[in-house]
Amino acid sequence: MSEELITAERGIIAEALTSDQAYQLVKSLCRKFGSRFAGSQEEREAARFLAERMRDFGLEEVELRSFEYRGWQRGSTELFWLDQEDKPHRVECIGLPYSPEGKVEAELIDLGLGTPAEFSLEEGEIAGKIVLVSAERPLYARENMHRRDKYLRAVEAGAAGFIWMRGAPGYLEETGGLPHDAPIPAAGISREAGFWLQEKLEEGQLRVRLAASHQTAPTTSYNVIGSLKGSNPEKKKLIAGAHYDGHDIAEGALDNGAGTAVVMEAARLLAQSSEVLERSIDFVLFGAEEVDLVGSSSFVAEQADLESYQFMINLDGAPGRPGGKLGIALQGWPELVPFFKNMASEMGLENLAVGVSHSAHSDMYPFSEKEIPSGYLSAIEEMATGRNWGHTRADTLDKLEIEKLREDALLLSRILLRASNKKEWPVE
């Protein structure tokens, strides 16, 4: 690295490790704009606030880019189990975004973790029943075990309703978006409530009643875009992204106020040394991620010079990891593993985990689908344990550790700084 780059990086390190600006940004997102649910006024105002901050940092071509889709608004969801006399007993629950309206009363069937094997074992028994599955994803079954996969298996098998039981304890219901054309009503319940239903079911047949009323309507959300211009416009660009929307039941401090703040902090830190950048860097904060990656899909569909991106890196919840080392999870492109491994060791971070771990459930996915090399910062060794506080009402500011926020912003800034100045990339 040139003297100039080394000096710039040292400046970034010093500032990243002593500043509380990233923390203050998450705090502003949580306190001023609440949950920032897709399509809400809070989401819109948060977008304007982020654009304003980008301009303050000195980013260029800052814009709010709107996109239209069918939005979802929460109504009420009620779940009861029925005793021998058909008397209803309430179970605390929350509707899952894009659950349709509907009222079903049917037998409950417990399909455990909702693996393909558990579904096929009960084949023929599922039609017309309400399916109960756990959100857990054990190490032996990691593929196709997202909430959407389990929901679609239930739909496929002819289920009448879907109950999503949280894996972690704490009496918290977990939310999460379904496909926009979800056909059967769905609700999230706590692990404790699920355990109770499973126990009842072991004693014999159990009937439950699920009633949901929600609304959908044409909706507008926004992506927030800003750029740092590199000295060589001939070179392909980098893009760093994070979604700033959250779920309507929480502040979304970790998922993904924190990821938003990491990307914004990297923008701020790099803007202070933008004269040393060779490749340009675009910073994009996506709206409506939690409801099926609508913002990033729209960006990919609309961006005219998409093939001019060298690499996309995404931040989604990483600073909320419970312990665990941060790593780079690539969406494929194994030839980038040694590239980033070398970069890590040049940075003095020999232990930084770099691997290929494909995920279809955050904003790097639409990019990788378009064959733009991409990845995300994630706690690689913790991936098996599933969600922490994200998607529950407990995803609040008190869980955020400023040290992790700093560590992640510093890592992202250094990666972008060095990647911007790499002469050769293994994938063009």
Q: Looking at beta carbons only, is 310 or 331 nearer to Zn ion? A: 331
Asked if 292 interacts with Zn ion (CB under 5 A), we say: no
| Residue range at the interface with Zn ion (CB under 5 A); choices 192-200, 248-256, 328-336, 353-361 | 248-256
Exposed/middle/buried for residue 45 (C-beta within 10 Å: 0-12, 13-18, 19+): middle
| Least Å from the CB of residue 254 to Zn ion | 9
Give the CA angle between residues 50, 53, 59 to the nearest 5°.
Answer: 105
Q: Are strands 60-82 and 88-91 parallel, antiparallel or unpaired?
A: antiparallel
Virtual CA dihedral for 292, 294, 297, 299, nearest 10 degrees?
-160
CB-count exposure of residue 168 (10 Å: 0-12, 13-18, 19+) = middle
- Choose between 298 and 310: whose C-beta lies nearer to Zn ion: 298
For the CB of residue 403, give the shortest distance to Zn ion in the complex, in Å. Answer: 21
* Region 202-231 residues binding Zn ion, contact defined as CB under 5 A: none
DSSP per position, 71-95? EEEEEEEEEEEE-TT--EEEE--EE
Q: Which of 256, 260, 392, 413 binds Zn ion (CB under 5 A)?
A: 256
Q: How many chain residues are in contact with Zn ion, going by CB under 5 A?
A: 3
Tell how strand 374-378 and strand 327-330 pair up. Answer: antiparallel
Q: Minimum distance from CB of 86 to Zn ion (Å)? A: 41
Of 130 and 400, nearer to Zn ion (C-beta) is 400
Q: Which region, judged by CB under 5 A, interacts with Zn ion, from 70-78, 176-184, 250-258, 420-428? A: 250-258
Contact 89, 80 (CB under 8 A): yes
* Beta carbon of residue 129, minimum distance to Zn ion (angstroms, whole number): 31
Question: Quick one: 57 or 72, whose CB is closer to Zn ion?
Answer: 72
Q: Does 255 bind Zn ion (CB under 5 A)?
A: yes
Q: Minimum Å distance from CB 346 to Zn ion? A: 30
List phi, psi (to 5°) of 107: -70, 145
Q: Which of residues 309-338 bind Zn ion (CB under 5 A)?
A: 316
- Supply the DSSP string of 203-228, one letter for each residue: TS--EEEEEEEEEEEEEEEEEEEEEE
Binding site for Zn ion (CB under 5 A): 255-256, 316
